């Protein structure tokens, strides 16, 4: 399978959600449920003051993250996904915004930043910018959660390439790493 050249743009995701309101079966997949549980279990702290979730899709994981964050900002590029996310996670301390990173990185400081199955949609220059933005926005002692699918795709980067490049650009302390046949989880602390 050949790889796409360049970061995947909004149009790709708009078309996916127009064709299927839950294209990855986030709401019904056993794989997703297990991965979400493992992701939450990997977080080293019980509560985060301010969390940022990049690529929230329809908000299924956002709802779980909301139980661990006093304030959560969840981003996605597709309006259709965000409309569902707001329904899945109707909590006063959670905000959903349409933003495309790295070009529309949010202001603010966060003590948790989550990239769950999103960094491989970026090309190398964009991923390096996101790493810089993460460093500038993450509070001292803050945590980054990386989750990446390991199967074959046509995305610009593989899950391993995206995670490894991101970690090389930050040089943070690796708190934990785990791997299944289908995904990997990396937890970093600034």
Distance CA 136, CA 116 (A): 20
Q: Are 101 and 54 in contact (CB under 8 A)?
A: yes
Rg (CA), the chain: 15
131 band by pLDDT with thresholds 50, 70 and 90:
very high
pLDDT at position 2 is: 87
What local confidence, expressed as pLDDT, does residue 175 receive? 98
> Domain spans of the chain?
32-189
Instruction: Tell me the per-residue pLDDT of 1-34, one tens digit each, with 9 for 90 and over.
Output: 789 999 999 999 999 999 999 999 999 999 999 9
For the stretch 159-186, pLDDT in tens is 999 999 999 999 999 999 999 999 999 9
pLDDT at residue 89, rounded to an integer: 93
Domain boundaries 32-189, corresponding CATH code: 3.40.50.150
pLDDT of residue 4: 92
State pTM to two decimals.
Answer: 0.97
Per-residue pLDDT tens digits for 118-129: 999 999 999 999
Q: What is the 3-state secondary structure (H, E, C) of the chain?
A: CCCCCCCCCHHHHHHHHHHCCCCCCCCCCHHHHHHHHHHHHHCCCCCEEEEEEECCCCCHHHHHHHCCEEEEEEEECCHHHHHHHHHHCCCCCEEEEECCCCCCCCCCCEEEEEEECCHHHCCHHHHHHHHHHHHHHEEEEEEEEEEEECCCCCCCCCHHHHHHHHHHHHCCEEEEEEECCCEEEEEEEC
- For residues 99-120, average pLDDT: 97
Instruction: Give the position of tokens 């949010």.
Output: 106
CA 37 – CA 58 distance, rounded (Å): 17
Model confidence pLDDT, tens digit, residues 60-92 = 999 999 999 999 999 999 999 999 999 999 999
Q: What is the mean pLDDT of the chain?
A: 96
């Amino acid at each position: 399978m050949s790889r796409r050249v360049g970061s995947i743009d909004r149009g790709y995701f708009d078309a996916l959600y127009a064709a299927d309101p839950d294209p990855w079966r986030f709401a019904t997949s056993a794989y997703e449920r297990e991965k979400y549980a493992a992701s939450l279990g990997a977080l080293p702290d019980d509560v985060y003051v301010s969390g940022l979730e990049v690529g929230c899709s329809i908000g299924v994981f956002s709802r779980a993250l909301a139980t661990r964050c006093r304030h959560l900002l969840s981003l996605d590029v597709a309006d259709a996904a965000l409309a569902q996310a707001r329904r899945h996670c109707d909590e006063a301390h959670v905000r959903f915004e349409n933003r495309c990173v790295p070009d529309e990185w949010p202001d603010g400081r966060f003590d948790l930043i989550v990239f769950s199955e999103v960094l491989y949609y970026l090309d190398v220059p964009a991923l390096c910018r996101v790493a810089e933005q993460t460093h500038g926005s993450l509070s001292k002692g803050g945590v980054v959660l990386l989750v990446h699918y390991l199967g074959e795709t046509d995305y610009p980067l593989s899950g391993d390439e995206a995670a490894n490049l991101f970690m090389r650009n930050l040089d943070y302390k690796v708190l934990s790493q785990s791997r299944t046949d289908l995904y990997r989880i990396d937890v970093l602390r600034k």
